[in-house]
Structure 1
Amino acid sequence: MQTEKEKMLRGELYNATDPQLTAERHKARDLLQQYNNTAAGNTDLRSFLLQELLGKCSKGLQIEPPFFCDYGYNITIGENVFFNFNCVVLDVMPVTIGNNVLFGPNVQLYTVTHPLNWQERASGLESGKPIYIGSHVWIGGGVIVCPGVTIGERSVIGAGSVVTRDIPADVFAAGNPCRVIRDLSTEKRILTV
């Protein structure tokens, strides 16, 4: 028989009030409370807490507190990633973030979703869909990324956008719902050393 965690990780309907999942969320909340209350200069403690939460702390990871997530272990982060203040990652499914990604303040990444049928929803069951964010992406402040979305490499998402579907690489996209505004691949690139 499958556990509720196994169902969750497969993207199937599962019961989030399962004791194992509840305990894992409580552990993450305890680590986050400690992290969010650390002094700005206490980088060793912050690194240790992120390591405990995420399982791996990549080079150049910077997360400004407060930061919130469900489990932590479903978040994979590349090198040189920056989260500004008050970001939320609901990671019931994998959230994969490439290298050199910037998140503005109040960005929210939601992998969790609920049934559209009210009777299923009333039963307390939920499911999730993974999120993938490519390398060199910039996500502006207040952006919401919905379940199952992929954002292609080098794209920019304008502040306040609600990303409900995949965004290709090398574009500027914005709005609610978020849509491609312009192609960045044809613009002259300025390289700095």
Structure 2
Amino acid sequence: MARTQKQRMLAQELYIAADPTLKKEAKQAKMLLHRFNQLAPEHFSKQQELLKQLLGKVGQNYYIEPPFYCDYGQNTYIGENFYANTNAIFLDVAKITIGDNVMFGPRVSLYTAGHPLDPDVRNIGLEFGKEIKIGDNVWLGGNVVVCPGVTIGANSVIGAGSVVTKDIAKNSIAVGNPCKVLRKLNQKDREYWQSQRQDYIAEMGAFISD
């Protein structure tokens, strides 16, 4: 028995995006996004509720700054303590998995969607998606683009404007187009930022937990 277009899409195989079921689900996402993006800032709780309806999973603490755009929403899974600045774009025709304590600068784009290189195949409406995975404690700077099939390892920092076309190992600082690892995060980095935190605590009389 032939699989549905949605089943093929989620299996990361060629599918027809104009399939009626997929078009219906995409329209539902657009309606939720429209409501979310039009809400005034004082309606925070309603914004959060709409995101819960839209996304496949969210943690207890999350915030996405409007406007926000995605294809389906239901294929995006977000962990605890997530923040995305304005104009985030998630093309989630394949699964997007985001870990805990992840931060996105403005205009970060996650693109799981891909199209065949052969124009004859592309022109009949066939396309595909490849999963994106972002580990815990990752920070993506403004205007970062993550391409289909990429995994970004835990604790990594991706510099603003980077286009990430290949996997980035954990504990990396990476920048550029195409994005490449500059160096690994190390003990000196940790010691410096821990000392900065202690200076802040000493001045402000406040305690910030890990």
The whole-number CA distance in structure 2 between the counterparts of 1:34 and 1:111 is 24
For this pair of structures, how many residues does the alignment match? Answer: 193
SS at structure 2 position matched to 1:28: helix
Q: Deviations for 1:51-96, whole angstroms, at most 9, x for unmatched residues?
A: 1101433111000000000001110000000000000000011100
Q: Deviations for 1:18-43, whole angstroms, at most 9, x for unmatched residues?
A: 00000000000000000001111212
Matched, 1:94 2:95: yes
Structure 2 unmatched runs, 5+: 198-208
CA contact (8 A) 2:14 2:126 kept: yes
Quote the offset at 1:186 in angstroms. 4.1
The whole-number CA distance in structure 2 between the counterparts of 1:112 and 1:35 is 23
CA contact (8 A) 1:129 1:147 kept: yes
| Amino acid across the alignment from 1:58 | G
Bigger Rg, which one: 2
Runs of 4+ with deviation above 4 angstroms: none
**Farther-moved stretch of structure 1 (176-185 vs 24-33):** 176-185
Percent identity among equivalent residues? 52
Quote the offset at 1:48 in angstroms. 1.4
| Amino acid across the alignment from 1:22 | K
TM-score by length of structure 1 reads: 0.97
| Amino acid across the alignment from 1:164 | T
Find the counterpart in structure 1 of residue 156 from structure 2. Answer: 155
The whole-number CA distance in structure 1 between the counterparts of 2:187 and 2:4 is 49
| Amino acid across the alignment from 2:117 | L
CA contact (8 A) 1:47 1:57 kept: no
CA contact (8 A) 1:171 1:185 kept: no
Quote the offset at 1:108 in angstroms. 0.4
The whole-number CA distance in structure 2 between the counterparts of 1:67 and 1:47 is 13
**Two-structure CA RMSD over aligned residues (Å):** 1.0
Matched, 1:61 2:79: no
TM-score by length of structure 2 reads: 0.89
